[in-house]
Structure 1
Amino acid sequence: MNEPSQLKKLFQINSKITFLNHGSYGACPKPVFDNYQQWQNKIEKNPVQFMTKDVYKNLEISRQELGRFINCDKDDIVYFPNPTHAVASIIENIDIKANDEVLSTNLEYGSCDRMWFYHSKVNNYLYKRTQIDIPIIDKKSFINNFWEAVTDRTRFIFVSQITSGTGMILPVKELIIEAKKRNIKTIIDGAHVPGHIDLDLKELDPDYYVGACHKWLCAPKGSSFLYVKSDLQINMQPHLKSWGWGEEYPEFINTTELKTSSRFQNIFQWQGTRDMSAFLSVPNAIEFHREYNWPKVIMRSNKLVLLARNMISDLTGMPKLCPDDFLGQMTTLLFPYDDHIKLKNILYDKFNIEIPTYRKDGYVAFRISIQGYNDINDIELLVSALKTLL
């Protein structure tokens, strides 16, 4: 039931394309996409009834299912359209003063880097990116490398659990444990985590966590979440203040719409009229994973990632960026080429291969994503194309 040839039929990806870039925007299987459209149809049958009443109980059901999947309380998570929006909300609400520091790495996602950079300049604190030595030797060397830049002014750390550009699974649990010892708050970018590796928020115990549901969980586009530890939620304020906000102010106490017993939910879940069908489809995406035994899919995908990395590294002679245990369903490889944009265009225009390419620190590289619909034929087509470019 979950072999690549069978799963391929459940996704809507153009069969003429060798699709090796699930990591960027995900891909939604037909049964989940059908559920998404059913929610949209329900809205249109009576928009007023749905938007003023039905949406709230259905959001709670959706958060309940997501909470079970990632092991946290349903009232500790709120939905956002994407991880960038969710990280922005954290940045806007952190308690940080002039000359304080936020410690991160040079492996973080570009939009988050930009937000931290801007916010630090405006508020006169230091956003510091530890330069992680590549290739990474092992977990211990990464952890030691990361903490080299910590000071007594470090108030927060911001780290990806799975990096976007390099596709590495970082040892954030160990970082969180050490941060607690140092009284440093932890903000984890888990955009690539749900549906990719196991996520247990109660066990991981970050202060803030952001995840995407539309990537590896295969929910519709525009479904992500923000987790905030319960004792920190009192400090959170939404950028958009709508009808669920204002109960603590006499001017609004009689008109604030309190749809739940949770302040965190009330102030965040209604942010003006928007289509929340993607949020409501998350339980169906979780059920899809269960129905098709996704742990087996993940294991098979990881084996194919490691095989692909070996094949391409042997072809190019370029070094691997990290040990095998840093990899899940993605890997990034160096490639001896002078122009990453030209490389991407040739692979797509000439060979119908969809893959992201990068140029960083003088090197050209590309990232491979392996999802359940991929098989060895996809890798062989990529390797064959790369041979013509060497």
Structure 2
Amino acid sequence: MVASTVDLAFRTKEGSQATTQETDDVVQYGKALREQQFLFDPNFRNLNHGSFGTIPRAIQAKLRDYQDQAEARPDHFIRYREKELLDESRAAVAKVLNAPVETVVFVSNATLGVNTVLRNLSWADDNKDEILYFDTLYGGCAKTVDYIVESSYGRVSSRCIPLTYPCEDDEVVTAFNNAVAASRAEGKRPKVCVFDVVSSLPGIRFPFEAITAACKEHNILSCIDGAQGIGMVHLDMTTLDPDFFVSNCHKWLHVPRGCAVFYVPLRNQPLMRSTLPTSHGFVAADASTQRVNPLPPNGKSEFVNAFEFVGTLDNSPYLCVKDSIRWRKEVLGGEDIILAYQEELARRGGAKVAEFLGTRLFENKSGTLGRCAMVNVGLPIAIEGDGSGLEDGKVRDEDADGLPQVPRGDVGLVTNWIQKKLIEEYGTWVSLFLYRGRWWGRLSAQVYLGLEDFEWVGEPLKDLCARAAKGEYK
């Protein structure tokens, strides 16, 4: 067998560890794994795993089996069997996160988890509470902050912390500390900070460990949006000890959409009064208004019980978590090997694309931004202008002036045209974004990809950027 194009240790069939130089009896990452284990169209290369994730054939079979069981005996499965399987998945994911099993439940996606936190927190009537967040926060979560502010009728405000990448991790911490000081100097009370594990666009590792620690120092609640998290970077809830953490399992853990693990330590579970929407697990504080829960009693905590049943939904993805974790161990070699492969492939693959395009990677001097499974490559195209009025308010990129340029008013047209042509002509898709007056492409590294896939994508990007610069998008 031919091993992956990135030389790492892989798990042999006997379960021992061996390098690609020592044996041919290794797990085949890359194209072979893609063709044998996954469901992709053979004419499509998925370099955008970070948006929607995907599942192997084995997990699709488990998903359908759970759905079939639910249809065969609905009451038996939904009322009883599903709860047992759910507990097994909670135990499995708790082990990956190094978290007590009683602190983890499931929600449909990370955005819902962030909503659950912010909509359950109470805001003081003195109008001093404030929500802090960074300008790289995912748009859906940033809009959630906007809604909380709007619907609070003045009781809570928000404060965006701007960052200018590629900055160093300690600069991010400094920006946070300065924002806290500014908030308090203005008579505000910073109550909670929402931040990433790995930001969406650009796809970079955020110093979430350091910001969590800084939140503790300032007595501010930490709410971590780990939409890009579990299955991509190492996570340890016992060591990290955030106040709230949510991470999509359907992105990097090979779990069906949509499923996210929601971690709340015991100390904060009383703050999460309700699921979204409120369902049978809710227990009113007023004892005189207690209502009957028609579901079988289970003796679990109020927090865990509330999230077990949130209306009649297809919870089959939640049940697949334990199966996906097992598949990743038995077929791929386990979490440590997977994470190491993805990060190395992102670094090496991204470097090859940048070299081919004659550009550079989105990285800081210490190399911490790329400690994940996504890489951002500069594209050979920029926006006309001197840097004033940039879409993100940042200083114009130092390399932008030497690139072919398109009118500022055509930014949306160019972005959409390139992405559509990638699908129509090349059978792939790359997340494009603007930063400091130029375009960047975010590429995902996964076990079903190899260096040859990154080498391949350089030509489509180079071709479409050149055609866009000539105005073909018009």
TM exceeds 0.5? yes
Write out per-residue CA displacement over residues 48-102 of structure 1, whole angstroms, 9 at most, x where no aligned residue.
Answer: 1111221222211211111111111222122111111111111101133323211
Secondary structure of the structure 1 residue equivalent to 2:345: helix
Name which of 376, 383, 388 aligns with 1:332: 376
Task: Report the equivalent of 1:264.
Answer: 303
Write out per-residue CA displacement over residues 204-235 of structure 1, whole angstroms, 9 at most, x where no aligned residue.
Answer: 10000011111100111111121112111112
Q: Say whether residues 1:154 and 2:190 are aligned partners.
A: yes
After TM superposition, list the pairs within 5 Å mapping 1:24-63 onto structure 2: 24-63=51-90
Change (3 A) 1:255 1:115: closer
Letter of the structure 2 residue corresponding to residue 307 of structure 1: R
> For residues 81 and 275 of structure 2, what CA distance do their matches in structure 1 show?
22
Letter of the structure 2 residue corresponding to residue 148 of structure 1: N
Change (3 A) 1:319 1:219: closer
> For residues 289 and 174 of structure 2, what CA distance do their matches in structure 1 show?
52
> For residues 299 and 142 of structure 2, what CA distance do their matches in structure 1 show?
34
Task: Report the equivalent of 1:289.
Answer: 328
Task: Report the equivalent of 1:166.
Answer: 202
> What's the CA shift for 1:321?
4.0
Secondary structure of the structure 2 residue equivalent to 1:215: helix
> For residues 43 and 320 of structure 1, what CA distance do their matches in structure 2 show?
47
| Unmatched tracts of structure 1, length 5 or more | none
> For residues 319 and 191 of structure 1, what CA distance do their matches in structure 2 show?
23
Return 114-123 or 320-329, whichever deviates more: 320-329
> For residues 122 and 240 of structure 1, what CA distance do their matches in structure 2 show?
17
| Structure 1 ranges of 4+ moved more than 6 A | none
Name which of 151, 173, 181 aligns with 1:122: 151
Using structure 1 for the length normalisation, give the TM-score.
0.94
Secondary structure of the structure 2 residue equivalent to 1:325: coil
Name which of 8, 12, 15 aligns with 2:42: 15
> What's the CA shift for 1:341?
1.2
Task: Report the equivalent of 1:252.
Answer: 290
After TM superposition, list the pairs within 5 Å mapping 1:1-390 onto structure 2: 1-8=27-34, 9-97=36-124, 98-123=127-152, 124=154, 125-136=156-167, 138-150=168-180, 151-152=183-184, 153-236=189-272, 237-246=274-283, 249-255=287-293, 257=295, 258-291=297-330, 292-294=332-334, 295-314=336-355, 315-318=357-360, 320-322=362-364, 323-327=366-370, 328-335=372-379, 336-337=381-382, 338=406, 339-360=414-435, 362-388=437-463, 389-390=465-466
Secondary structure of the structure 2 residue equivalent to 1:102: strand
Letter of the structure 1 residue corresponding to residue 362 of structure 2: K
Larger RCO (CA under 8 A, 6+ residues apart): 1
> For residues 340 and 360 of structure 1, what CA distance do their matches in structure 2 show?
13
> What's the CA shift for 1:133?
1.3
> For residues 69 and 25 of structure 1, what CA distance do their matches in structure 2 show?
21
> For residues 56 and 293 of structure 2, what CA distance do their matches in structure 1 show?
41
Change (3 A) 1:316 1:244: same
Task: Report the equivalent of 2:9.
Answer: none
> What's the CA shift for 1:271?
1.0
- The number of equivalent residue pairs is 389
Secondary structure of the structure 1 residue equivalent to 2:353: helix
| Native 8 Å contact 2:351 2:360 kept in 1 | no
> What's the CA shift for 1:255?
4.4
Write out per-residue CA displacement over residues 238-289 of structure 1, whole angstroms, 9 at most, x where no aligned residue.
Answer: 2323222236533435546443320002222211111111100100111111
| Unmatched tracts of structure 2, length 5 or more | 1-26, 383-405, 407-413, 467-474
Q: CA RMSD in A?
A: 1.9
Change (3 A) 1:177 1:46: same
Letter of the structure 2 residue corresponding to residue 252 of structure 1: Q
| Native 8 Å contact 2:107 2:262 kept in 1 | yes
> What's the CA shift for 1:318?
4.9
Return 19-28 or 48-57, whichever deviates more: 48-57
Letter of the structure 2 residue corresponding to residue 5 of structure 1: K
Using structure 2 for the length normalisation, give the TM-score.
0.78
Over the matched positions of the two proteins, sequence identity in percent amounts to: 23
> What's the CA shift for 1:173?
1.3
> What's the CA shift for 1:361?
5.0
- Highest Rg: 1 or 2? 2
